[in-house]
Structure 1
Amino acid sequence: MRDYIRTDIEIQPWSEDMADFLSALLGDIGYESFTHNAPLLTAYTYKDSWDCEAANALIADFPAPGVTLKATHTVEQGRDWNHEWEKNYFQPLVIGDKVVVRSSFHTNAPKADYEIVVDPKMAFGTGHHSTTRLMMEYLLNNSLQGLTVTDMGTGTGILAILACMLGAKEVYGIEIDSDAYANACDNAVLNSVHPRLICGDASQLSMLPKADLMLANINRNIITADIDRYRQALKEGGKLICSGFYLPDLDVIRAYAEKNRLQFNNYALDNEWVRAEFTAT
């Protein structure tokens, strides 16, 4: 299991907007997930890809007059997130009144039209985070019958699993992290569905059939870096649905999308997180 760097940053004076701005800048240097509880912003990245010099330079030279930052970096050992969530956090969740997400250790989950069993282990995606909910709500509110769907950064496999349940003809899930990939495979078996899951990065897209629907719930940096490959892997008129970023990032992603013949359609918000829809032209 890969170890993490946890960076706790005290922001004075505190504001949500400043925390979002700092999160975006940290994302630019490789941080992948963020939580905040005033006055602290906590950011995480893998230890083996952490750029300590860039992180310290950003904190020392933060480009916001009148704002001071104090940071500490700590190493967190890779953990079995299934055990952590079972012990502390993960409760059954109903999304859109249509799907319940539970873990295999839950015995009294609510009933819904669809039930997804997810044991998260080291992977991201249980439906509790705003971005996962936004993506699941899109799938629930749009017909997938007969479509080819590709899920980039599949994590636990939750979106690929739901796409299978909703009638997609072919479902592919690509995950770069080997632990998360193994977890997604296990979760597909738990749900008796059969997406084709691949351990790799966006270079794998060229070997797959072109998609009617591309899902990318990742982060701004990866989306902008790989969006040209997403477009090449979409059919004309196909849809790219992406999330994992804040509203201030939307203009950046939209600019990259439009350079790659992806027309912006609309966006949705959940707790300041964004889901954006684009059409391949």
Structure 2
Amino acid sequence: MNYIELQLTVSPEFSDILMAELAELGYESFVETDEGLSAYVPESDFDAAALDELVTKYAGQTAIAYQFSTLEKQNWNEEWERNYQPIEVAGQVRVRASFHEPDERYAYDILINPKMSFGTGHHETTAMMLEHQLAIDHTGKTVLDVGSGTGILAIMAIKRGAVEALAFDIEEWAVENARENAELNRCPKIAVFQGTIADVDPASRYDIVLANINRNVLLAEIPTYASLLNTGGDLLVSGFYENDSPDIEQKAIEAGLTISGKRVRNQWASLRFTN
């Protein structure tokens, strides 16, 4: 499957909102550049008219220009290797690609070769989820990673002491990538399948549920996540803006959960709930 690479020239303060808008149009991965933003979408999902409408929407607020080209799947590694730099989270976690050298100063060394998956740790939502995980005792616990992307959160859970993690994603390429990354990180206790929350056994129970998706999916699925939590379990969510937090919080409260933590970065938010 080929991808379309979109190169947006835009002011940095518009990168986050445009990533959110493009995600709604099916774009799956993003790289912030010196000029603005590169975004990637399967060729079959590319809609030139919708893209033009989006750019027109913001043209009155900022200088914005774009160009796009077809990027063959086998060329993706070359693209992200050129742009992808290691990131550090809370002074304890370092997320890197396999071509970067390890750094022993960090307690958690996570290898992520992302392909087209969203979730390298570069985006605020992923980084905040990792920060929440640092605050939770994972020892001996079971974990569910919803919409796992690269599998980074499940990998972190196992590195933090979880006994097993079940991860899933609706996209075949994401499932393939999560499995590869789990193997890279020597995490055989991670099982990954292609599907949705509806495919998870409703009789199963987990100590930690991780969901870094988007506002609409969270609002629809939080009651299901809550039903899968053990008593005293934690639900960590992100993928939405701070001004959407009240709606997310209210849905979780209605599902019987209690808010126990909140993080905000560049208008993105991440919430922790306890059952």
Give identity over the alignment, percent: 37
1:120 aligned counterpart, secondary structure: coil
2:189 is the alignment partner of 1:223 = no
What letter corresponds to residue 170 of structure 1 in structure 2? E
Q: 1:43 to 1:261 in 2, by over 3 A?
A: farther
Give the Cα separation in 2 of the matches to 1:271 and 1:175: 26
Could you list the per-position Cα deviations for residues 210-253 of structure 1 after superposition, in whole angstroms to 9, with x for gaps in the alignment? 11111011111222232232122222332210111111121222
Corresponding residue of 2:235: 240
Instruction: Number of aligned residue pairs: give it.
Output: 272
Alpha-carbon distance in structure 2 between the residues aligned to 1:180 and 1:163: 18
Judge conservation of contact 1:24–1:249 (CA < 8 Å) in 2: no
| Match of residue 193, structure 2, among 195, 198, 205 | 198
When residues 170 and 49 of structure 1 are mapped into structure 2, their CA distance, relative to the original with a 3 A threshold, is same
- 1:42 to partner: Cα distance: 8.2
What CA distance in whole angstroms lies between the structure 2 residues aligned with 1:253 and 1:125?
Answer: 21
Amino acid at match of 1:139: Q
User: Could you say which residue in structure 1 is the equivalent of 2:113?
Assistant: 119
Matches of 1:259 and 1:50, distance apart in 2? 38
The answer for the alignment partner of 1:178 in structure 2 is: 172
Task: Give CA deviations for 1:173-230 in whole Å, capped at 9, x if unaligned.
Answer: 1111111111111111111112111111111222673111110111112222322321
Equivalent of 1:275 in 256, 270, 273:
270
Alpha-carbon distance in structure 1 between the residues aligned to 2:250 and 2:49: 29
Q: Kindly state the Cα deviation for residue 159 of structure 1 after the two structures are TM-superposed.
A: 1.0
Partner amino acid, structure 2, of 1:128:
H
| Cα deviation, residue 82, structure 1 | 3.2
Q: Is the 8 A contact 2:226 2:256 kept in 1?
A: yes
> Residues 31 and 83 of structure 2 are in contact (CA less than 8 Å); yes or no, is this contact kept in structure 1?
no
Question: Counterpart amino acid of 1:83?
Answer: E
Alpha-carbon shift at residue 259 of structure 1 (Å) = 3.2
Query: What amino acid does structure 1 have at the position aligned with 2:85?
Result: Q
Partner residue of 1:154?
148
Residue 103 of structure 1 corresponds to which residue in structure 2? Answer: 97
User: Which residue in 2 is equivalent to 1:91?
Assistant: 85
Letter in 2 for 1:228: P
Q: What TM-score does the superposition give when structure 1 sets the normalisation length?
A: 0.77
* Shift in alpha-carbon separation, 1:248–1:207, aligned structure 2, 3 A: same
Q: What residue in structure 1 maps to residue 251 of structure 2? A: 256
Q: Which one is further off, 105-114 or 227-236?
A: 105-114
Change (3 A) 1:69 1:260: farther
- Residues in 1 aligned to 2:174 and 2:127: alpha-carbon distance in whole angstroms: 19
For 1:71-98, what per-residue CA distance to the aligned partner results, in whole angstroms no more than 9, with x for missing partners?
9795754645433221x22222232222
Amino acid at match of 1:149: V
Report the residue type matching 1:112 in the other structure.
Answer: Y
Name structure 1 gaps, 5 residues minimum: none
Shift of 1:136: 0.9
2: CA distance, partners of 1:193 / 1:4: 32
Q: Deviations over 1:145-165 (max 9, x none)?
A: 111111111111111111111
CA contact (8 A) 1:7 1:44 kept: no
Matched position secondary structure for 1:173: strand
1:135 and 1:193, CA in 2 relative to 1: closer, same or farther beyond 3 A? same
Q: Decide whether the 8 Å contact of 2:3 with 2:40 is kept in 1.
A: no
Counterpart contact for 1:125–1:132, Cα < 8 Å: yes
Whether contact under 8 Å (2:102, 2:109) holds in the other structure is: no
CA deviations on 1:75-128 (whole Å, 9 max, x unpaired) are 754645433221x22222232222222211113645322211111112122222
Q: In structure 2, what is the Cα distance between the partners aligned to 1:58 and 1:225?
A: 26
Q: What is the TM-score normalised by the length of structure 2?
A: 0.78
Match of 1:209 in 2: 204
